[in-house]
Structures are given as structure tokens and as C-alpha cells.
Amino acid sequence: MIQVGSLLNASDNSGAKKVLCVKIYKKKAKTASFGDLILISVRSLRNCRKGLIRIKKGEMYLALIIKTKVSKNFIKTATQQTFFSQNAVILLNKQKKLIGTRVLGPLLKDLRYTKYLRIVSVCSGLL
């Protein structure tokens, strides 16, 4: 579960490495989970040439949560439970389109049934 102030990894090639959650876009919710939109601030960048990085440190972006660490008392209603070892997001622009061109690592199949089908086609695999 992601709260305001959580430090997350960026799992795309937009240029961000670590991001900080600033706001959760859910009504009356204090935590966000898989598939939710949040507002983030970029805290650190990846090491690559300056011409390739499209974002700057300290800027605010929308992000979609794709991986979350889940506590042991969380029970998923589906038959299988999938847990990740890190919290990760994908950066989006104001029109809710990908900033990067690739998604690093596999995604859950549950994302296929949302309005973010484009992200599933760009990812490297599904779980």
C-alpha cells in the first residue's frame, strides 16, 4: 500500500529513478494500490546522456502504480496472489499517456482490463 510520502522506483525508461508520492487521486482514500493514479515528484535521475532525458529533477508528474509490496494480512479475491519486492510506478503526462517508450519488468494481467491497455502492449511480460 502506497501512502503520501512513500518513496517509489520508476519502472520505465523516462529517466527517473526514485520518485516521491505527493497526492493520491482516490476519493477519501489514504492509501493507493495497484492500478491507481498518484501525483509524484522526481527525486533522482538515471545516469545517461542529457539529451535523452525528457524530465527534470523536482518536477511533478502523474504516475500509475504497477507494483506494490503487500503485507501478509492482505487477501486477494482472485485464486492466485502475486507479491513484488518493490513499489514501482510508470510516469504519465497530463493526457495520461506514457512518457517513456518501454516498461521494465513484468506486469500483472489485471491491468489488461483497465483503460491503460497501451501500457500492457509496451511491457516485457505479464504475470
What does R_g of the chain's alpha carbons equal in angstroms? 14
CB of 52 closer than 8 Å to CB of 101: no
- HSE-CB for 58 with a 13 A CA cutoff: 0
Residues whose CB falls within 8 Å of the CB of residue 51, separated by 6 or more in sequence, listed in order = none
Tell me phi and psi for residue 21, to 5 degrees. -75, 130
pTM attached to this predicted model: 0.85
Domain 7-101 part of CATH 2.40.150.20: yes
pLDDT tens per residue, the chain (127 residues)? 889 999 999 998 888 999 999 999 988 889 998 889 999 999 999 887 666 677 889 999 999 998 888 754 455 555 456 677 889 999 999 999 999 888 888 888 888 888 888 888 888 777 7
